[in-house]
Amino acid sequence: MGGQGIILASDIIVETALASGYDVKKTDTKGMARRGGSVVSHVRIARQVWSPLIKAGEVDILLALEKLEAARWAHYLRPGGITIVNNQALPPLSVILGYDQYPSDKEITDILKRRTDHVYFVDGARRAKELGNIRTLNIFMLGCASLFAPFKVHIWKESISQRLPPRIRQININAFDKGRKEIQGIHLKEGSSKI
Amino acid sequence: MIKLLSGNEALALGAYHAGVRVATAYPGTPSTEILESLACYDDIHAEWSTNEKVAMEVALGASYAGARALVSMKQVGLNVASDPFMSASTTGVNGGLVVVSVDDPGIHSSQNEQDNRHYAKFAKVPMLEPSDSQEAYELVQYAFDISERFDTPVLVRLTTRIAHSKSVVKVAGSRSVPIHQPDFQPDVPKYVMLPVYARLRRPLMEERLTKLFSYTETFPFNRIMRGESRLGVVTSGVACQYAREVFPQASFLKLGMTYPLPQNLLRRFAAQVDRVIVIEELDPFLQENIQAMGIKVTGKEFIPRLGELTPDIIEEGCRSAGLLPKSSPRQVEPAPELPSRPPLLCAGCPYTGLFYVLSSIGQRAKLVKSKVKVTKKSKLIITGDIGCYTLATYPPLVAMDTCACMGAGIGQALGMEKAGVSNKVVAVIGDSTFLHSGITGLVNAVYNKGQITLIILDNHTTAMTGHQDHPGTGISAQGKETKAVELEQLVQGIGVSDVKVVDGFNLKALRASVRNSLNSPELSVIIVRGDCPVLVPTRAKPLVVDTEKCDQCSTCLLLGCPAIQTDDGQTYIDTALCVGDACNLCQQLCPQQAIGPQPEITA
């Protein structure tokens, strides 16, 4: 959702990928998104990238900072792809006003499981608050995703540090580490699952 | 040097490296970042102009004086700038003049979808289209050279996906400035477009076009990429990238100069392959121009002519045309019926109160069993305009009836009144929009004896596009202090005597002034003022709902504030979103007085 720091997060992914020797393109759908609309970033990493847009059914990693948005983009996942979802609901106004219904957890899980079994729900908002600042949610989620990406941890951390002012660097590095540990804790051996 | 740049950033850097001296623009998604990037350089003049027409004229003046100038805008901005743009094509230039148009296929954030490639042919000027950030960086530099060599403005055309995608760019280390000192040389037959002189320029325009038709044949960014001869694809812009992924084996004619088109190169290409298709976004601009040369091509028969293209859409179209094998359905349908998430007025927006008042006076939404229902009445006609405030169109506020283009609301209000409608008519417009093209509408309304009510929403910024400065803020694009337009005095100078200034966060005052204006036979202006909470973040005490006093009447939900939410029927305020008691509209509204600042927790 707009305002959660998705564009910064995807910027960090592309810079990490570039520093790791890949070609990379990314595109953001923004515009009015800061006003609480949906924001999505497509990031493509390869030896050579043409299209900035990912084709439906070809997303390797779907990183969602909100549950409804995860369901909205589920159909873009590659069968068997990985999805990491921040277990937070931010209902749109239509739901609050009673015009629409927010999908239940079961409905959301079903939508995701139609594409893949690799579905990880994480309590990102709670972890970020535990660290002291809800705004570290986006970097926490990057930490979660980092286990499935072929980039070294120190390069991730360099990209994060370069992008943030000194006074919030450490708390965000902590958030990254916490995200990594969170997924590691969910029965995954480090390094065993790569793209 | 390697950099990761968006198309806009790369274009700006390319222009800077090419020696641009004057850059002008009015903010407009998806083009805004071009001027924002150029404003970072102290050694050039980069300005927010009042509107795109003025921006084009300033750039034109700089060009006449011998300086390289660039003006950038979104697609509809070129409509505003089209008068000086067409004249610039007639007079020609002196220092290179580059006009950047960033179109918005798919209407991510615009009022319409239009293909500005037609402007190049209409104005008889050459057009370059980058297909990624690297080309944006390089092509803008070519554009300045072409402009000076052929005495013509040059249109550089991007789309949202190029402007807002980041990719790897190899850039030069530094800027190379043209050697001559800017200096205006009088040349009346060139610059003064009296009919006698304009008639002299016309054949020169045609000669220039003939020379460009020859130049484009060997333009380095018009390239044949040989692959299999079964299929030849002609393409430009971001569509190139998608096409390469859909047809990795095909032969390609990739176009970087898309007006004029290289006839001979196209014929050669067509002769090399069995079949030629055109993959382009929006109108069949390339296709029709190629067909006019007598070359057989297809494209829009199976590629959509509206909306943004994606690799999926292109694949689907090509499959239906038999160009790709029919594959087994991949089941990539989106999940059905998920609630949409439209953008909203922020929590703490200084305009929410005003629109709530208009909505309630106009009886446009009501509570039925504590649920907000839109009434579809129109006790009040509210003609609107472009900015954050356009979002007041959505429920629960539903407080806008029209939005056509910049400044249109004022003229439309007068038009409704003169047509003889029985309802009262109110026009709403933002401060930046008003300075852009509302002043002329207000002058017109006064001059032509209108009785409308005009509400100018003044949050002292151009918010929707990212909080840029404008002539009312007193700060320039490059951060210098300057004179600020005084809206009250301006409005009075136009001849309006009934001018009121109201605090956006005072519901009582808002309601009183709106009622007053609606009942007055005179044309009246209300200026609603307040700080934008994104620009001026406050750390005030968050508001909370006292669940003992709250009877779930849902009146506060009528504000449409994103901080006000419900959980299991109980209304509550999200303290992460609430800006605190700097805005206390909900508190003012609550019939039970159940909303107030968070009580102190005594240890």
Domain ranges of chain B: 2-215, 223-320, 352-529, 543-597
- As given in the structure block, the two tokens for residue B538 are 């406050």
- Average pLDDT across chain A, whole number: 90
Confidence of residue B135 (pLDDT cuts 50, 70, 90): very high
Query: Rounded mean pLDDT of B532-561?
Result: 91
B168 Cα to chain A: minimum distance (Å): 7
Average pLDDT value for chain B? 95
Q: Give the pLDDT confidence score for residue B504 in this predicted structure.
A: 98
- Looking at the complex, report in whole angstroms how far the Cα of residue A143 sits from the nearest Cα belonging to chain B: 22
Cα–Cα distance, A166 to A176 (Å, whole number) = 16
pLDDT per position as a tens digit, A163-172: 999 999 999 9
Q: Domain B352-529, what fold?
A: Rossmann fold (3.40.50)
A139's tokens: 């970097």
> Looking at domain B223-320, which CATH architecture does it have?
3-Layer(aba) Sandwich (3.40)
- Residue B318 · residue B302 · CB < 8 Å: yes
Q: What is the pLDDT of residue A94?
A: 86
Mean pLDDT of the B473-491 span: 98
Q: A71, B566: Cβ pair inside 8 Å?
A: no
Residue B330: pLDDT over 70: no
Residues B347-371 as b/e (b if ≥16 CB within 10 A, e otherwise) read bbbbbbbbbbbbbbbbebbeeeeee
**Are the C-beta atoms of A145 and A61 separated by less than 8 Å?**
yes
| CA B74 – CA A120 distance, rounded (Å) | 40
Q: Chain B residue closest to A51 (CA)?
A: B241
Chain B residue closest in CA terms to A95: B339
Does residue B123 come out as left (phi exceeding 0), alpha (psi in the -120 to 50 range) or beta? alpha
Which tokens belong to B274? 């069995």
C-beta of residue B85 within 8 angstroms of C-beta of residue B123: yes
Predicted pLDDT of residue A32: 62
Between chains, do B245 and A51 touch, taking CB under 8 Å as contact?
Answer: yes
Weakest-pLDDT range from A123-132, B200-209, B244-253, B512-521: A123-132
B113, B167, B586: best to mutate for the A interface, most A CBs within 10 A: B167
The region, left, alpha or beta by phi > 0 then psi within -120 to 50, assigned to residue B13 is alpha
Tell me what the mean pLDDT of segment B562-567 comes to.
91
Minimum distance, in Å, between the CA of residue B387 and any CA atom of chain A:
10
Q: Do B344 and A36 touch (CB under 8 A)?
A: yes
Q: Contact B167/A52, CB-based, under 8 Å?
A: yes
Q: Which CATH architecture has domain B2-215?
A: 3-Layer(aba) Sandwich (3.40)
Q: Is the bond into B30 cis (omega within 30 degrees of 0)? A: yes
Q: Say whether pLDDT at A5 is over 60.
A: yes
Residues in chain A with CB shorter than 8 Å from the CB of B391 are 32, 35
For A129, phi then psi, to 5°, come to: -65, -40
Percent of chain B surpassing pLDDT 90 = 89
Which of chain B's residues have a Cβ under 8 Å away from the Cβ of A1? 341
pLDDT of residue A37: 80
**Gap between the Cα atoms of B48 and A74, Å rounded:** 41
For residue B576, the model assigns a pLDDT of: 83
The CATH code of domain B543-597 reads 3.30.70.20
* Helix axes of B439-447 and B408-419: crossing angle, nearest 10 degrees: 20
Q: Do A14 and B166 touch (CB under 8 A)?
A: yes
Pick from A6, A53, A112, A159 the residue to mutate for testing the B interface (most B CBs within 10 Å).
A53
The answer to whether residue B328 scores a pLDDT higher than 70 is no
Q: Which of A1, A28, A92 sits opposite B340 (nearest CB)?
A: A92
More confident residue, B327 or B448: B448
The ipTM value here is 0.91
At a CB cut-off of 8 Å and minimum separation 6, what does B421 contact?
B381
Would you say the C-alpha torsion A162, A164, A170, A176 has a positive or negative sign? negative
Query: Do residues B347 and B565 make contact, with C-beta atoms less than 8 angstroms apart?
Result: no
Q: How far is B398 from chain A (nearest CA, A)?
A: 13
* B5 min Cα distance to partner chain A (Å): 10
**Alpha-carbon B235 to chain mean position:** 25
Residues in chain A closer than 8 A to B30 (CB atoms): 31
CA A49 from centre of chain: 21
Average pLDDT estimate for B208-237: 98
pLDDT of residue A193: 45
Q: What is the β-pairing status of strands B223-225 and B250-255?
A: antiparallel
Residue of A nearest to B365 (CA): A97
Q: What is the mean pLDDT of residues B587-603?
A: 84
> pLDDT category, B378, cuts 50, 70, 90?
confident
Domain A6-185 top-level CATH class: alpha beta
pLDDT of residue A119: 95
CB contacts, 8 Å: A97 with chain B: 371-372, 395-396, 557
- pLDDT score, position B219: 98
Q: What is the pLDDT of residue A4?
A: 86
Q: How many Cβ pairs closer than 8 A exist between chain A and B?
A: 143
Q: What is the pLDDT of residues A73-108, one digit of tens each?
A: 999 999 999 999 999 998 988 888 888 899 999 999
Give alpha helix (H) positions in B151-194. Answer: 160-163, 188-191
Would you call B165 and A25 a contact, using CB atoms and an 8 Å cutoff?
A: yes
Of B166, B312, B560, the CB nearest to A26: B166
What angle separates helix A169-185 from helix A153-163, to the nearest 10 degrees? 140
Gyration radius of chain A over CA positions: 16
Q: Which residue of B has its CA nearest to A15?
A: B4
Select from A34, A75, A97 the Cβ nearest to the Cβ of B333: A75
Contacts of B132 in chain A (CB under 8 A): 25, 52
Contacts of B242 in chain A (CB under 8 A): 50-51, 53
Is-contact A15 A159, C-beta < 8 A? yes
Place A194 in a pLDDT band, splitting at 50, 70 and 90: very low
| Fold match, B2-215 / B543-597 | no
The mean pLDDT of B471-480, rounded to a whole number, is 98
> Mind listing the pLDDT tens digit for each residue in B338-355?
998 888 899 999 999 999
Span B194-207, mean pLDDT? 98
Instruction: With CB atoms and an 8 Å threshold, state whether A56 touches B332.
Output: yes
Dmax over CA atoms of chain A, in Å, equals: 49
Q: What is the mean pLDDT of residues B526-552?
A: 92
Mutate to test the interface with B, among A27, A30, A42, A163 (most CBs of B within 10 A): A27
Task: Kindly determine whether residue A51 and residue B560, on different chains, have CB atoms separated by under 8 Å.
Answer: no
CA-based nearest residue to B465, from B32, B161, B65: B32
- Which pair of structure tokens corresponds to residue A149? 């990406």
Lowest mean pLDDT among A179-188, B76-85, B236-245: A179-188
Mean local confidence (pLDDT), B261-282: 98
Mean pLDDT, range B231-255, rounded to an integer: 97
